[in-house]
Amino acid sequence: MVGSGYNHQQPSAIFDYLEAYWIVHNYRRVTFVPHTSGPFDYDITWTQYKYNYRNVYFNHIGQTRWIYGFFAHYINSHHNRGYGSKGYRFVIGDEASYCLLDYRQYVLIHEYGHVEGMRENSGGVPDIYGSNRVISYHYYHCSSWDQYLAYARSCW
């Protein structure tokens, strides 16, 4: 988060929002642990993020309970807010369009939702918490709740 010339450290309210959301809507608790290691890049790509940051600066690499999140300036372009991959990692460009402070908590929920097995609107089962404006266009990778729960159990 800390780099030359620009500080990508996030206000704790960003993480508190997701942690509280997860406690209210799920029995499984998510805890964010901000670190201050890692360099800064103005604009990185998804591939650069994986090989130059995640594989290098992830202190808990290989530990199944831990995933890696990263805040950069831009990801690929000024319009991409972030990426997330199922059960693995996410990255957010915190200066992208619609990713400024008043909206970043929803972007974080969106990208973390990908880690939890949700995907963009392309079929599948809609999220039961569809009233949320970010989650509402999330759909699970799985075609049924039984499959989703099976995936959730497989995380253990």
Partner 1 sequence: MVSQQDHPHHHVDYSELRYLTPMGPDTQLDIECANVHDPFYRYLYVYVDGQLWSTLYAPGSDHIDLPYYSTPGMHEIKFVLYYGNFRINPEALRDVWVNYKYRMVEVD
**Number of other residues whose CB lies within 10 A of the CB of residue 65:** 8
Shortest approach of partner 1 to residue 123 CB, angstroms? 26
Crossing angle for the helix pair 12-25 and 101-115, to the nearest 10 degrees: 50
Is the separation of the CB atoms in 57 and 41 below 8 Å?
A: no
Interaction mask 26-65, partner 1, x per CB under 8 A: xxxxxxxxxxxxx--------------x---xxxx----x
Name the residue nearer to partner 1 (CB basis): 42 or 66: 66
- Asked if 6 interacts with partner 1 (CB under 8 A), we say no
Name the residue nearer to partner 1 (CB basis): 90 or 139: 90
Between the CA of residue 122 and those of 4, 33, 40, 133, 137, what are the distances in Å?
A: 40, 32, 34, 17, 9
Interaction mask 92-121, partner 1, x per CB under 8 A: --------------------x---------
